[in-house]
Structure 1
Amino acid sequence: MVVKKIITICQSGGEFETDADGVISYKGGDAHAMEIDDKLKFKDLKSEVAEMFGCNLGTVAVKYFLPGNKKTLISISNDKDLKRMIKFHNDSDTAEIYVVTEEVAAPDVSQMPGSRSSRTTLSEAGVGVPVEPSRSTINNIVDDINEPDPLVDSTFDVVGDTNVSTEVPVPSDFPTPIAFASPYDEKLAKAAQQWQNNITGVGQRFNSVHEFREALRKYAIAHQFAFKYKKNDSHRVTVKCKAEGCQWRVHASRLSTTPLICIKKMNPTHTCEGSVLATGYQATRSWVASIIKEKLKVFPNYKPKDIVTDIKEEYGVQLNYFQAWRGKEIAKEQLQGSYKEAYSQLPYLCEKIMETNPGSLASFATKEDSSFHHLFVSFRASLYGFEQGCRPLLFLDSIFLKSKYQGSLLAATAADADDGFFPVAFAIVNVESDENWKWFLQQLKTALSTTPRGLTFVADREKGLKESIAEIFQGQEVYHAYCLRYLSEQLIRDLKGQFSHEVKRIIIQDMFTAAHAPTEQIFYKCVDSIKAISVTAYNWIMQSDPTHWANAFFQGARYNHMTSNFGELFYSWVSDAHELPITQLVDAIRTKIMELVYSRHMEALDWMRRLTPSMEKKLEKENLNVRALEVVSLGDRIEVRFENSVQIVNVDRWECSCRVWQLTGLPCCHAIAVIMCLQRDPYDFCSRYFTTESYRLTYAETLNPISNSDGPMWQKGESTQIVTVTPPPTRRPPGRPTTKRVSSQEVGRRQLQCSRCKGIGHNKSTCKEFLLEC
């Protein structure tokens, strides 16, 4: 594996300057270049830059900017920070780091009037010591508290509102930035020093109450104290230090006839001593969101536990997991848009899809209470590609969406001429149910201009699909092939604890072999081996409609595709974007389909063979076995012999008694031997669905963007009817959602086995059989 190296420009000796917009630039100093990768240790980096610039190793600090963000300097203080920096710059060839020498001072903080350090040391206050958050702590995490605090002394109450400011002179010993005694404290001061002067005193104005509150929170974090509200409404805010008896307090109110908020009174001096530091109290969800938003934009999988660690290291604020998680949710909504508003945009989205991609079908439905029910989308390019170039074969499957309002995505995918997946249609539904699957199939039938003759669905037999397919496509040549993955999982569940894991694995293996068996003789041989192990399993298999899943009996054509999760790559697209609002999720899928169509269209331009590359390899593999075969012509009957076996080939009907030709669509070795004896071309006897021409037809149409370049996305059009759509009532369940999708290759692997009921897939602590018995 090749390790990517990043050229790092190391700068030192200059100065940081901040412009009016808060953008930080670095002026002057020297610069050197070096290569780094994710194998480099922080101590080695620090030693090298210290030697590079002739610095004392103990005073070296290394910082950097996130890509696209020049407003916040990020510190590198350990191996984890260094790896993050490299990961953030993974898409770049270069990165800039700044080497700063910081002398660690230990001033007599007790002599600094008004500073928090004059009351308690950081070690006494417990800064940086993780504590288990209490319920009351979580309940205190609120953005705005509108009720007055009954514990606050009422002597500072401000009655009414006035434009006349009561002058409170700011003393000369107003709290100033402090250099803390330990390296950790020094880093804290550096990270928060940009907020030390957020509150300057009487007369300072703010554009809104919200802006004042945010400035106040950051000021409190920078100066390491906690405050509480006495009054907090849309036109006035009064706060005091949370420490009992402390005289620090601020009152701000609105200037009449304006939206401006002005500080009218302020006592900037803290008189409390020995109080418990509670910086986490001021770390509201919105504050956490504002801190992590830029980093989340670069690193979407930023985990709450990493947020807790980073904010503690950079700002000295101890969060709990809940605060970090809620802050991330708010930041995501700020970056991606409102999840709730996205549902109201669905009418405009459907209109835009059909307007920008004529021939597409996009429809949605709501329930009686206007809550979202389901959305169906099939692009013209997908429908054309399926009808013109793909086999009449559709795979139906679903994936659970882990978004704010949950739901599921139902999808129909096809197989192109090179055996690659091809998205045909998808739907987002409030819940996976028999009703929604039936609705999806009705929409799919409407989207297809004509139902292809001999259309085969590979799908689960549960969820109402067995009945829905038969009902909706009644009277048409449509077949339903049961998904072997779901079928084998059902068998394992029904067997429960009767057999050991090893025995169940053998039964599943024999079942898969029986399903692939091309002839009835081989099928019965496989199931007889199951019968020798378990008559119960044998009876279950024989009663599960083998005509719908065994090659030996199935009447349709599924080209040896046995499971419905053919489009794993498609489901991975959805998994990558499942946290987006519904309209953005649809556009993310459209973008992926557009990229897929374009890349495969361009790829096929260089193909010079008659068949696609994967089919050429399969044909060549069969051709290797031709030399050992003997062709004997007996009038209309042509036999192909090899040792003791004899196969009969009918070239005109494209049939061989081994049935491989009929099952795959490509001539088997027996058929190729006969075709060559007749001096004909084997390519003429390959299914047209495997040709390069069919592949190019599949990817001939392009998808067009559906966003509105002249205004907001999904802007209402003149023809759009006013339809109210609200989010579904379901919400994301508690706990961490599942991240792994079970693949067909995992069937038959070792599974968790319960020691109580001997069942598969759970342990005794979650055994439902035991709970039912109790």
Structure 2
Amino acid sequence: MCQVEECCWVVYASRDHEDTCWQIKTFYDDHTCPRENSNRAANRAWLASKLVKKVRKYPNFKQCEAATYFRSKCDLILHRNSLARALADARNIVYRDEKTNPGSTVKIGVTPLPDGQVMFDKIYICLSGCKNGFKAGCRPLIGLDGAFLKTQIGGQILSAVAQDANHHIYVVAWAIVNIENKENWKWFLELLHEDLGDYKANGWCFISDMQKGLISAVEEVMPQVHHRFCVWHLWRNFNKQWKDLELRRLLWDAARSTTFQDFIGNMDKIKRVSEEAWTYLNKWPRHSWTKSQFSHRPKLDNICNNACEVFNARIKEARSKPIITLLEEVRMFVMRSIAKNKIKLNNHIGKLPPVIQSRLEKVRKESKNWVPIWTGDEAYEKFEVHGQPTNMVVDLGKRLCTCQLWMLTGIPCVHACAALARVNKRPEDFCHPLKRADELAAALAAAAAAVAASKDKVAATGSTPAPEASNSTNPATSAADIPPPVSGPQAEEVELSQPSYGRTQDEAPPPPATRPPMLPTKWKTTPQPVTTSVDPMQGASAATSSRLARFMKMVPTPQFKAPRKKNP
């Protein structure tokens, strides 16, 4: 009922006969009382929660517009002070007045115009949490790729994506450029090299498609770096000239070969089928597309750039949105993926991550088909493992196997698992540190809190100061006022990176949540069935009873000897 006694508005509901839901029996929707435009439930927190979406969509959302919005949508007339405080809270949630991610790098390239203004050209973003988490526990193999923006103006998004210890994608950096060419790739790789450190000291490796200008840009920025090619794109280019199914199979067999002998054998088969196809494949560097020549440093035997393909597929819808919205969607995706992986790891028990543990269990089961034979060394570590199709030599002390799969992946192969079973050791203890759960926890802990909404992201607000263009006398305009990307003169860079503060970002993470002890099971006592003795012959005739007695009488078989009775 309405609080006003004179008002006839009323609604009456009661439970139905099954007592499962409520049913409205009486409803009179006609208020005759005077309308009130104030509500005590519309407090500061509620107003801020409603204004967050508006501020995200309209960065310059004003207080008068907020008052009009609540008056039209909610029929509320709010005091200007409460509305101003709620609007300030909403802006703090969206833009974070405090610096939540110190050490991040955000650079904007602008093109000077004749009238003294500047035009947006490109932007590079690498959050501190992402790069610190990558250095803490991710594989040193970085995937590089570009994808088209599905807008009327066009453009490209460049990305650098790695993989953590659980084989999940880990986004390191991304950039928006007007076109994919050697100049933009070189600009992106130079900034990435500055953020991640020296590639020789850290052993960074790269995998990418054969895109425009990317191979030459990698050679100029990081000479003699281990650079793999995606075999899937190599196969697509190969398939344009040779449609033979046998050649396709031999190409993948050659790429998956882990030993040099197998690779040479598959290449000889290709040469016998088509010498032109063999010449085409032989012109590519062997260390870029076959496992037999890969570097053992990344502990990852990927021959396809699937990590970048997954990232591009996840932001497929966001690529059709404006640049600011696209950058916010990418940041939210990175934050959600890291938080989700961290929750999965907290609920997992074991030395290895879940994906690595399942793969190792599969390899351990297959190792039963191999027979290890000790070679006679004093340390009892060298074995010759016999099986099909060939024999292998395993050295447990140096963690080597002639199949090279142990060195490529960091996980004991079937031959190593067979030898470890012979010496009664656990394969989990012989996995590389990059495959362990503690390395994954370190990577996620370094990035989980730091990827939250940061002031480094490019957003146009009144509280965010406009950056100044380097080597230019004209200040840079806000991101909302920057015109769309166009081709023009050489772009200048605007430095938006935050300085590193005294307090470190990589503080000790809180202890992971432990599972509560299992409660004792409450056994339900079931009542014992009541047994009653019933005479089956009750009500039967005397003749029936005698026939049943004769039938149940034991008739001894021939040569049957009754048991002797013991004397009392």
Per-residue deviation at 1:598? 1.3
Alignment partner of 1:412 is 2:160? yes
Q: Is the 8 A contact 2:147 2:158 kept in 1?
A: yes
Equivalent residue, structure 2, for 1:670:
415
Per-residue deviation at 1:437? 0.8
Equivalent residue, structure 2, for 1:723:
476
Per-residue deviation at 1:444? 0.5
Alignment partners' CA distance in 1, 2:231 and 2:191: 26
How many residues align? The count is 376
Alignment partners' CA distance in 2, 1:560 and 1:695: 18
Aligned equivalent of 2:222, options 460, 473, 493: 473
Q: Is the 8 A contact 2:123 2:175 kept in 1?
A: yes
Q: What does the per-residue CA deviation read over 1:477-519, in whole Å, with 9 as the maximum and x for residues that have no partner?
A: x3101111222222234x2xxx5x4x1x432232111101111
The one of the two structures with greater contact order (alpha-carbon pairs below 8 A, sep at least 6) is 2
Alignment partners' CA distance in 1, 2:148 and 2:437: 35
Alignment partner of 1:686 is 2:431? yes
Equivalent residue, structure 1, for 2:341:
600
3-state SS of paired residue (1:627) = helix
3-state SS of paired residue (2:247) = helix
User: Counterpart of 2:214 in structure 1: which amino acid?
Assistant: L
Task: Say which is worse superposed, 411-420 or 578-587, in terms of deviation.
Answer: 578-587
Equivalent residue, structure 2, for 1:441:
189
Q: What does the per-residue CA deviation read over 1:363-410, in whole Å, with 9 as the maximum and x for residues that have no partner?
A: 111234433322111111211111111010101111100123210001
Aligned equivalent of 1:492, options 239, 243, 249: 239
Aligned equivalent of 1:482, options 229, 245, 261: 229
3-state SS of paired residue (1:509) = helix
Aligned equivalent of 2:311, options 570, 574, 578: 570
Per-residue deviation at 1:644? 6.9
Alignment partner of 1:460 is 2:194? no
Aligned equivalent of 1:509, options 218, 238, 249: 249
Q: Is the 8 A contact 2:296 2:407 kept in 1?
A: no
Cα RMSD for the two superposed structures: 3.0
Per-residue deviation at 1:640? 1.2
Alignment partners' CA distance in 1, 2:460 and 2:123: 18
Aligned equivalent of 2:146, options 398, 412, 430: 398
3-state SS of paired residue (2:374) = strand
3-state SS of paired residue (1:463) = coil
Q: What does the per-residue CA deviation read over 1:300-348, in whole Å, with 9 as the maximum and x for residues that have no partner?
A: xxxxxxxxxxxxxxxxxxxxxxxxxxxxxxxxxxxxxxxxxxxxxxxxx
Task: Say which is worse superposed, 574-583 or 614-623, in terms of deviation.
Answer: 574-583
Alignment partner of 1:531 is 2:271? yes
Alignment partners' CA distance in 1, 2:253 and 2:353: 28
Aligned equivalent of 2:107, options 337, 354, 363: 363
Per-residue deviation at 1:686? 0.4
Q: Is the 8 A contact 2:144 2:308 kept in 1?
A: no
The verdict on how the C-alpha distance between 1:449 and 1:548 changes in structure 2, with shifts beyond 3 A counting, is closer
User: Counterpart of 1:364 in structure 2: which amino acid?
Assistant: I
Equivalent residue, structure 2, for 1:580:
321
Aligned equivalent of 1:634, options 375, 387, 408: 375
Equivalent residue, structure 1, for 2:59:
none
TM-score (norm. length: structure 2) = 0.61
User: Counterpart of 1:469 in structure 2: which amino acid?
Assistant: V
Which structure: larger Rg?
2
Per-residue deviation at 1:520? 1.7
3-state SS of paired residue (1:510) = helix
Q: Is the 8 A contact 1:412 1:423 kept in 2?
A: yes
Per-residue deviation at 1:695? 1.6
Q: Is the 8 A contact 1:638 1:649 kept in 2?
A: yes
Q: Is the 8 A contact 2:295 2:408 kept in 1?
A: no
Q: Which runs of 5+ in 2 are unaligned?
A: 1-8, 14-72, 74-94, 469-474, 488-568
Q: Is the 8 A contact 1:441 1:472 kept in 2?
A: yes
The verdict on how the C-alpha distance between 1:593 and 1:459 changes in structure 2, with shifts beyond 3 A counting, is same
Q: Is the 8 A contact 1:661 1:668 kept in 2?
A: yes
Q: Is the 8 A contact 2:206 2:228 kept in 1?
A: yes
Alignment partners' CA distance in 2, 1:693 and 1:585: 33
Alignment partners' CA distance in 1, 2:203 and 2:210: 19
Q: What does the per-residue CA deviation read over 1:665-697, in whole Å, with 9 as the maximum and x for residues that have no partner?
A: 100121122223334332221011221112212
Q: Which runs of 5+ in 1 are unaligned?
A: 1-26, 32-293, 295-350, 731-774
Alignment partners' CA distance in 2, 1:447 and 1:719: 23
Q: Is the 8 A contact 1:397 1:565 kept in 2?
A: no
TM-score (norm. length: structure 1) = 0.45
Alignment partners' CA distance in 2, 1:680 and 1:470: 44
3-state SS of paired residue (1:729) = coil
Q: Is the 8 A contact 2:466 2:476 kept in 1?
A: no
Q: What does the per-residue CA deviation read over 1:237-280, in whole Å, with 9 as the maximum and x for residues that have no partner?
A: xxxxxxxxxxxxxxxxxxxxxxxxxxxxxxxxxxxxxxxxxxxx
Alignment partners' CA distance in 2, 1:541 and 1:566: 24
Equivalent residue, structure 1, for 2:133:
385
Alignment partners' CA distance in 2, 1:644 and 1:514: 17
Alignment partners' CA distance in 2, 1:461 and 1:589: 24
Alignment partners' CA distance in 1, 2:232 and 2:127: 29
User: Counterpart of 1:577 in structure 2: which amino acid?
Assistant: A
Q: Is the 8 A contact 2:100 2:455 kept in 1?
A: no
The verdict on how the C-alpha distance between 1:423 and 1:388 changes in structure 2, with shifts beyond 3 A counting, is same
